[in-house]
Structure 1
Amino acid sequence: MTTATAPTTAHITRPTGLTVDELAARRLAKAAGSVSFDELAASLARDYDAWSAHVAGAAGCSHPIRLVGLVQHVEQATGRVTGERHTTDMPDGVLYTPCGNRRAAVCPGCAETYRGDTYQLVTAGLVGGKGVPASVGEHPCVFLTATAPSFGPVHTHRTDRAGRTLPCRPRRDLEHCPHGHPLACFTRHADDAAERGRPLCLDCYDHPHQAVWNLASGELWRRTVIAARRAVSALAKRHGIKLRLSYTKVAEFQHRGAVHFHALLRLDGLDPRDPDAVIPPDARVGANHLGTILRDAVAGTQFTTAPHPAREQGWTIAWGEQVDPRPVRLSRLDLDDAGEITTTAVAGYLAKYATKATELAGHTSTRLRADTVRAHAALDTHPGRQVDVCWHLGTRPEKADAKEWAAGWGRLQRWAHMLGFGGHFSTRSRRYSTTLGALRQARRDWRLAQHNTRPDQDDESDDEDTTEIIVSSLAYAGIGWHTSADALLANTSAANARARGRAARDELASLGA
């Protein structure tokens, strides 16, 4: 069997009971592009409805995981096995489960699920829900963007206040770098231009410092939050009140390959008798206080890394000059009358950023090994040099302790495919809102409840506990759909299901539900 990558289309359906004819198959094949007519006809010739229902849980996944083994249904109250089925008796002889990859460039279907979960998590911390009181909508809240410092001049997209594109790096005096490259660029780069983020001179750009900064950015964020919390405690002490800082953040790669952070930080009150309660803070503190605290924390936090054989004095890790703490207001619009960012916009931003990674910087790969890194590092490009420097800085010297090196500088080599960044792309403080795990468990519980619903059950058994649990003994059997035709049909079915879901939500919204 071959693993197939799913073509993308959203306009193919097969109604229940429709007979397969040559014309319909040819239309589907034409829409699929690379899928042959014979391959598609073979997929449609089987019991399509049973197969479609079987793969529904993973239908939107580009690279589903195939599992083989035994699935048993067990009564929760008695432990009695009410039924069992081996995957050999199922369509395709396997069970499909989504890959769960959060990166939209790898699996758009799973990334959309991750984006939706992140949106719900962020929104709950802004307006309440999912166990968070609705009063959080009135808490002081700030949307913070903190970027990396400059490691060398790069091409960029600039606009004026009217939205007109400006020259990239205009200079009156045309200077050149030591390598002979001009330190000016008069091109008006589009927002999606391939040149964005590329250094004006590859040899002048400080690739080692950027790689180390990406590696240490998580520690820099941790220290920044500590500084902010200390300032919040000092503010609370001055007013004789109790305050707590809650946050959620996502990491995003810039075009130059450096990580920056978008964070939503909220001030809560603190009840010593119930530390887990989320209560409004004292009315004397507001978003302006929090914005000032965050700006000072970002500007004042820096540290020096441990020595490295390539740089005995280590590297200075600090934030860049671009710090943007913006108050957040409860509103349905992206910007309110005061020009402040709103709950709807910030939740959408964070959810969107959470599904991105290094593809914006021009590099996409799985974890690299010694035999695969050469293909990327050999390229004399900006991403190629970043991968190369990560690999070399992470290579252990002969005299270094293996365990200590792996826990320190060796992480650069481990995360070379992420340009040195090995942190989580989405994190939150414990009391900000719900968790991704809780959202996923709620989805699993809902599906299990739908499975356990028995419309044909006798009324006499309504009082009996007939809840079943599913016990599986499954083993990994591969990744991907069996054929390109299967991938097309499954992903088209999922696209249509998403379209129906959006239409239903829009209809409910129009009715005010």
Structure 2
Amino acid sequence: MASTLDLTPRASARGVGSNADTIVYGYTAAGSAFERATHPDYFGWLEHVRSAAGCTRPIRLAGQLLTVDASTGRVLEQRHTDGMPDATIYTACGNRRATVCPSCAQTYQRDAFQLLRAGLVGGKGVPESVAAHPAVFPTFTAPSFGPVHVRVVKRHTCTNRKRCDCRAEPCHARRATDPAAGLCPHGRPAVCWARHESGDAVLGRPLCLDCYDHDHQVVWNLFSGELWHRTKQAAERWLAKLARRRGIPRVEIVSATGKTRKVPPVRLSPGKVAELQARGAVHFHAIARLDGVDPHDSDAVVPPPAGFTVDDLVDAFRHAAAQIAFHTPPHPDRPEGWLITWGEQLDIRPITTGLDGDVTDGMVAGYLAKYATKSTEATGHTSTRLTADTIGDYADPDGDHTARLIDACWRIGRPTGTPTPLSQRPRPGFVQRWKCPDCGTHTRYAACPVCVAQRQASLDTDPTKACSANPYARLRRWAHMLGYGGHFLTKGRRYSVTFQLLRDTRVSYRRHEDQAHEHTAAGGPPADHHDDTALIVGTLTFAGVGWHTLGDALLANTAAALARERRITGREELAHELATTADTMSAAA
């Protein structure tokens, strides 16, 4: 029995072994695991850590748990973590990145799949009538910032794109009448006749690093969320104009303030996932569902007016993608700003519900959920948030492609304001001596200097307020993400349910699934189960990160890996059984 994760530190994503902060001397990891497994309370410990068993960096909490009757306020039960195994409570880190924590990322991926699919077929609080709404699957890409190595297959003959072995076209073929025609302005080759394989390391790398516009790319990543927002608004305006041309009246609704206003009879309910390509540019995979508007309940999900089809959605997004473009605010390095627009590659496919069709609801939800757990791994860069002390380890203006992108983020995101010299500042006028009611400072200044300094310090450390003066300041905060600081999965409020609802449902299920567990509960005899009127009040504090020993990490991660394999095998067997049953029924028909 061996753990599925390494027990030694790594430079990119630290393994479980590196998180253990207590070393059992005289034992190897296997010996420490054997010692834990021979303890009488081993099954109690395993049950105690079950919720965080597969987490690479679980969070340890210590404190007191009180079970209180909600109606009377009487304490029904009192427990302290000192009486539990390891004197702590383990909780999963909840990281969505698969390279950081595979177990938590898998949970996030499954929640994302259920969330996205519910918006297409209904369920979990979403009406099943949404399956009949028109829906499309658009993919928006970034423009070209310079030629990069690519793999282009004009006609696929493979059955599995993940293991595609089709013959690719030459990367950058060019006919040249003279030898100089194949060189860039920096004297480097501007052609590439190689037919790259799927896993070639040069894919996404520029042909010439000096010709590539790294500044434009990181700024585009920064403003790509605003570009998507404007594109969605433009598509909704196009659909509203289409409804007006077809004679469909606007709908009167009552706002939250009690005022009556008229709105278009159709609206979009989108969801999108951001993906970083190998070149480090963001592109978006989206789901757009067309809904109607209920005049009596503006939050209700109702079908659109009759006559609207998937073709109308396709036309709306094509029109919006070609129309939307804007320039960023001025910057000292580029006073005219950078142009933010979509690339030429735009793919919009209709979504069909069920098992028939080229793009089904299950395929789209699975595709987007898979990319929701990825980050900058495609570029070969993985790091935490960079600071002035660590930026030198990753940024290099003369380095490789990723190092130049990080350098561009740090350079463009620098403070651009120049303070006024002291000799040119106006001398403040004094007033009669007074006492500040907030801090008690006696001063003759019109404003308390202590409070002003504290407010300024809070502004300097608050990224949301600091960015109001310099729109490029966020580039330094998100330099480790190559400039992209948005969420990797977002959705409209009416599209589907929330992650919080799915997590609360899972917690409620786990609280009741093991009420008759045969093993001894962690920390003593089985606790009394109270009704739904009981509240659990915890006064827990942070006690550390990581497993207690290397052996604990080995046991916990191995148990979680075996559980994941059982679930995967069960799903595969169930899918095979359903497919066999469907084939038998179709043959009998």
Residue aligning to 2:527: none
CA distance in 2 between counterparts of 1:153 and 1:198 reads: 9
Q: Map residues 32-47 of structure 1 onto 2, 5 A cutoff.
A: 36-46=29-39, 47=41
**Match 1:165 to one of 165, 168, 178:** 168
Out of 484-493 and 252-261, give the one that drifted further: 484-493
SS of the residue corresponding to residue 125 of structure 1 reads helix
Contact conserved, 1:70 with 1:84, CA < 8 A, in 2? yes
1:225 maps onto 2:232 in alignment: yes
**Match 1:209 to one of 196, 201, 216:** 216
Q: Map residues 458-473 of structure 1 onto 2, 5 A cutoff.
A: 465=531, 467-473=533-539
1:273 maps onto 2:322 in alignment: no
Report the Cα offset of residue 467 of structure 1.
4.5
Contact conserved, 1:232 with 1:245, CA < 8 A, in 2? no
Residue aligning to 2:125: 131
CA distance in 1 between counterparts of 2:554 and 2:195 reads: 40
CA distance in 2 between counterparts of 1:55 and 1:188 reads: 50
**Match 2:111 to one of 114, 117, 121:** 117
Contact conserved, 1:76 with 1:466, CA < 8 A, in 2? no
Report the Cα offset of residue 454 of structure 1.
10
**Match 1:388 to one of 407, 420, 423:** 407
Q: Map residues 174-189 of structure 1 onto 2, 5 A cutoff.
A: 175-189=182-196
Residue aligning to 1:344: 362
Per-residue Cα deviation, 1:411-456 (whole angstroms, up to 9, x for no partner): 000100110001111111111111111111211222234467899x
Residue aligning to 2:373: 355
How many residues align? The count is 472
Residue aligning to 1:27: none
CA pair 35-195 structure 1, distance change in 2 beyond 3 A: farther
Per-residue Cα deviation, 1:205-239 (whole angstroms, up to 9, x for no partner): 10000010000001111111110111111112222
Q: Map residues 473-492 of structure 1 onto 2, 5 A cutoff.
A: 473-492=539-558
Contact conserved, 1:396 with 1:405, CA < 8 A, in 2? no
CA distance in 2 between counterparts of 1:434 and 1:441 reads: 12
CA distance in 1 between counterparts of 2:477 and 2:291 reads: 38
CA pair 326-44 structure 1, distance change in 2 beyond 3 A: same
CA distance in 2 between counterparts of 1:321 and 1:247 reads: 22
Out of 135-144 and 493-502, give the one that drifted further: 493-502
CA distance in 1 between counterparts of 2:55 and 2:175 reads: 53
Residue aligning to 1:397: 416
Report the Cα offset of residue 151 of structure 1.
0.4
Residue aligning to 2:489: 426
Contact conserved, 1:452 with 1:468, CA < 8 A, in 2? no
Report the Cα offset of residue 68 of structure 1.
1.1
Residue aligning to 1:25: none
Out of 37-46 and 258-267, give the one that drifted further: 37-46
CA distance in 2 between counterparts of 1:52 and 1:432 reads: 39
Larger Rg: 2
Q: Map residues 58-207 of structure 1 onto 2, 5 A cutoff.
A: 58-161=52-155, 162=157, 163-173=166-176, 175-207=182-214
Residue aligning to 1:13: none
Contact conserved, 2:59 with 2:546, CA < 8 A, in 1? yes
CA distance in 2 between counterparts of 1:426 and 1:94 reads: 33
Report the Cα offset of residue 50 of structure 1.
1.2
| TM-score of the superposed pair, with normalisation by structure 1 | 0.87
Report the Cα offset of residue 278 of structure 1.
1.5
Whichever residue aligns with residue 78 of structure 1, its letter is T
SS of the residue corresponding to residue 427 of structure 1 reads strand
Percent of aligned pairs with the same amino acid: 53
CA distance in 1 between counterparts of 2:50 and 2:128 reads: 35
Contact conserved, 2:170 with 2:195, CA < 8 A, in 1? yes
Contact conserved, 1:75 with 1:466, CA < 8 A, in 2? no
Contact conserved, 1:77 with 1:466, CA < 8 A, in 2? no
CA distance in 2 between counterparts of 1:399 and 1:453 reads: 68
SS of the residue corresponding to residue 544 of structure 2 reads strand
Whichever residue aligns with residue 109 of structure 2, its letter is R
Whichever residue aligns with residue 154 of structure 2, its letter is D
CA distance in 1 between counterparts of 2:296 and 2:214 reads: 51
Out of 41-50 and 65-74, give the one that drifted further: 41-50
SS of the residue corresponding to residue 377 of structure 1 reads coil
CA distance in 2 between counterparts of 1:313 and 1:166 reads: 38
- Structure 1 regions of 5+ residues with no counterpart? 1-5, 10-33, 456-463
SS of the residue corresponding to residue 233 of structure 2 reads helix
Q: CA RMSD in A?
A: 2.4
CA distance in 2 between counterparts of 1:326 and 1:474 reads: 49
CA distance in 1 between counterparts of 2:343 and 2:380 reads: 22
SS of the residue corresponding to residue 536 of structure 2 reads strand
Report the Cα offset of residue 466 of structure 1.
6.3
Whichever residue aligns with residue 168 of structure 1, its letter is C
Report the Cα offset of residue 483 of structure 1.
2.4
CA distance in 1 between counterparts of 2:33 and 2:124 reads: 43
CA distance in 1 between counterparts of 2:268 and 2:489 reads: 17
SS of the residue corresponding to residue 155 of structure 1 reads coil
Contact conserved, 1:269 with 1:282, CA < 8 A, in 2? yes
Residue aligning to 1:371: 389
**Match 2:564 to one of 484, 498, 504:** 498
Per-residue Cα deviation, 1:49-84 (whole angstroms, up to 9, x for no partner): 111101000112111111111112223343322222
SS of the residue corresponding to residue 106 of structure 1 reads coil
Per-residue Cα deviation, 1:187-210 (whole angstroms, up to 9, x for no partner): 222222211110001111100000
- Structure 2 regions of 5+ residues with no counterpart? 7-26, 158-165, 249-264, 421-458, 519-529, 583-589
Contact conserved, 2:4 with 2:561, CA < 8 A, in 1? no
CA distance in 2 between counterparts of 1:467 and 1:270 reads: 38
Residue aligning to 2:241: 234
Report the Cα offset of residue 398 of structure 1.
5.0
SS of the residue corresponding to residue 69 of structure 1 reads strand
SS of the residue corresponding to residue 467 of structure 2 reads helix
Report the Cα offset of residue 495 of structure 1.
2.0
CA distance in 1 between counterparts of 2:60 and 2:131 reads: 43
| TM-score of the superposed pair, with normalisation by structure 2 | 0.76
CA distance in 2 between counterparts of 1:264 and 1:114 reads: 18
SS of the residue corresponding to residue 199 of structure 2 reads coil
SS of the residue corresponding to residue 159 of structure 1 reads coil
